[in-house]
Amino acid sequence: MKVYPTQSIRNVVLLGSTKSGKTTLAETMMFEGKVIDRRGAVEAKTTVSDNTEIEQIYQRSIYPTLLYTEFMDHKLNIIDTPGSDDFVGGVISAFKVADTGVMIVNAQQGVEVGTEIFARYADKHSKPLLIGVNQLDHEKANWENSIEMLRKAFGKKIVLIQFPVETGAGFNSFVDVLKMKMYFFKDDNGTREEREIPANLMDQASELHQILAEMAAENDENLMEIFFDKGILTEEEIRAGLAIGLIKCDIMPVFCLSGKKDIGVKRLMDFIINVAPSPEKTIQKLKDGTTVPCDSKGQTSIFIYKTAVEQHLGDVSFFRVMSGKLVEGADLTNPENGSKERLSTIYAVAGKKKEKVAEMVAGDMGCAVKLKSVKTNQTLNGGPKEWAFEEIVFPPSKFRTAIKAKAEKDEEKLGEILNRAHAEDPTIVVEYSKELKQTILSGQGEHHINILKWHLTNTHKLEVDLFAPRISYRETITKVALADYRHRKQSGGAGQFGEVHILIEPVVEGVAPNNRFKVEGKELVLNFKGKEEYTMDWGGKLEYYNCIVGGAIDARFMPAILKGIMEKMEEGPLTGSYARDIRVFVYDGKMHPVDSNEISFRLAGRNAFKEAFKKAGPKIMEPIYNIEVLVPSDCMGDVMSDLQNRRAMIEGMSSEKGFEVIKARVPLAELHKYSTTLSSLTSGRATFTMTYADFQQVPAEVQDKLLKEYEASEKDE
């Protein structure tokens, strides 16, 4: 393969809902560029993309696949991405390195929730979008409905470049209103004729051409003057105006496609080459906020956007050349850890097909193998400047499960595999919770996690169990309480003795402690001799006051009492969950001149705290999450009903681009498998996001249930 200069490279990401036809379109684009000499089919499991066993089983994209094609003396790098929201991490990583998105819309369905989701991500990443209405050859294709839905979703940004002469089984031609020509396709291999527009379609074509010219002129003052003077623009002038509008994300050009029959694919690639931005027009941000132009004359620097393990190759690092020229054998440095990497071989990538190349310039994309210590989101530099490019920010998890190897001897192996899975797909999050005593596996949905389980079982031959994770409850108190505890133990020699009297009350932000209390008919006036304040790792506070007078407890035992209290804060008296926001006053006690020691006062402090806690109006608090659900209006009732059954507090509803948006606060305990339920209720047409909000007290009936469950588990142990 020849070396393509930066201005002759285009980087595109194919987006769209599942079954929109992205993989088939990518296959045809490679066929047209002679990268492959025969088009594969998803059903036959012969496509260049979707080449893993699990993708072929499900017949859908699960991983983002880098591909390329050569067309009109340009190189198009293409990333075919999954259509399911469960695998959105692949889309997000692609946005980091692609310059243009091609949104594929299924002509049978029109705008789907997935369309809206990916458009949102494109907008967030300031990536221009082209729209390809695909499968116009399907008997249920509906062009008019698709365009109406696109306009409803994206408004005035939608601009038609083409329209079909006929849809359904007879789809074999379309009118191109930029070129003002009709393209007729003789077969299913892209053989086409350029014809004049039929008289009965000329009025429609002329009207759309005029709209196209007006939208192009709006993006440039010089073009606007020409348009006012002449009333028309040339094809080149319209292209120039559209290019400006595309970079500004002000327009979304729409094309007619049948990826399966190779209709419209060459014109789409033609437009990408002539109108979509080349990498040289992009500027990449560094972590420190400064920017680096995509300049082939600059310092060599590459960004790793994805890592994977491939059979026969081992570790594979996929990159974009951000600056300079990358040559095989280059020695690059990782600014994060100072390690040096030699890229002995670099490859252009078309799925499993890897073609060695001698050089790649700024803007190009490829891969290297067996790099020693480089991860996704890291930069490698070939010069003195220690650039570190801004990292990809992945969305928060939406599905949690606990995971455990069926055989205890496999736990270490499981941990290694899960950490590797996270390295390959950062939206898989693995953590061991000391509090819950469980390994928690989080992802974007149940299907996402089930794919990982399939690999554990089939690739790694490791049997695991998935089950509902425990909830990170918190325990606190609501009123003042007193307690005392005497620890006494005699066993022949020196014994153990310690007695502690404490008072506890809740910590309320902004409210200072009082030194006068009336509790259980007793009036106490405390003398503060010392205060220690701790911010707990799990949130909240512990305030510890020494109020001992007259030497009732020696000062050297106060740390031991605190240690005992801390132990019970870490394993709360109600359910064994972390305790928080408690103020403790140690105001009296007794010692023994021989038998008192640190362990005695640690146990006395621990048990006094436990007794006082249970009398202080104890409450269990649960984690609450803010969720935002994007749902089609016809599913609104079912989704609302389900949320109410989950103890949700609805905070707002609104409409957005043809979909309803529900905002609610929901206890985490009620969100297990919510993504699966939501998909079932809406036939996969809805999505949601969830973010941690705060802790709130659980209802009385829930607290009673949790207390009984904990008591039962204590008896079992």
With a cut of 50, list the residues of the chain below it in pLDDT: none
Kindly state the tokens that stand for 693. 């909000």
Kindly state the tokens that stand for 313. 């190759």
Residues 476, 582: contact at Cβ < 8 Å?
yes
Q: According to the CATH classification, is domain 402-470 in 3.40.50.620?
A: no
- For residues 348 and 359, give the distance between their C-alpha atoms in angstroms, rounded to a whole number: 10
Q: Where in the chain is the domain with CATH 3.30.230.10?
A: 478-617
DSSP 253-308: EEEE-BTTTTBSHHHHHHHHHHTSPPGGG-EEEBTTS-EEE--TTS--EEEEEEEE
Q: Where in the chain is the domain with CATH 3.30.70.870?
A: 402-470
DSSP helix/strand/coil, 626: strand
Kindly state the tokens that stand for 149. 């839905």
pLDDT at 120: 87
pLDDT at 687: 84
Q: Is the dihedral of CA 628, 539, 515, 565 positive or negative?
A: positive
DSSP helix/strand/coil, 396: coil
pLDDT at 658: 65
- For residues 433 and 48, give the distance between their C-alpha atoms in angstroms, rounded to a whole number: 41
Q: Class of the 284-381 domain?
A: mainly beta
pLDDT at 716: 62
Q: How many CB atoms lie within 10 A of CB 656?
A: 11
Q: Class of the 620-702 domain?
A: alpha beta
> Position of tokens 């017949």?
59
- Digit-coded pLDDT (tens) for 430-460: 999 988 999 999 999 999 999 999 999 999 9
Question: Facing residues of 68 across strands?
Answer: 77
Kindly state the tokens that stand for 465. 């169990």
Q: Where in the chain is the domain with CATH 2.40.30.10?
A: 284-381
Q: How many Å is the maximal CA-CA distance in the chain?
A: 113
> Kind of pairing, strands 301-310 and 314-323?
antiparallel
DSSP helix/strand/coil, 173: strand
- For residues 96 and 464, give the distance between their C-alpha atoms in angstroms, rounded to a whole number: 34
pLDDT at 114: 83
DSSP helix/strand/coil, 615: helix
DSSP helix/strand/coil, 455: helix
- Global pTM value: 0.87
Q: What is the CATH number of domain 478-617?
A: 3.30.230.10
Q: Where in the chain is the domain with CATH 3.40.50.300?
A: 6-171+252-279
Residues 6+ apart with CB under 8 A from 704: none
**Distance, CA of 235 to chain centre:** 41
Domain 6-171+252-279, CATH homologous superfamily name and number: P-loop containing nucleotide triphosphate hydrolases (3.40.50.300)
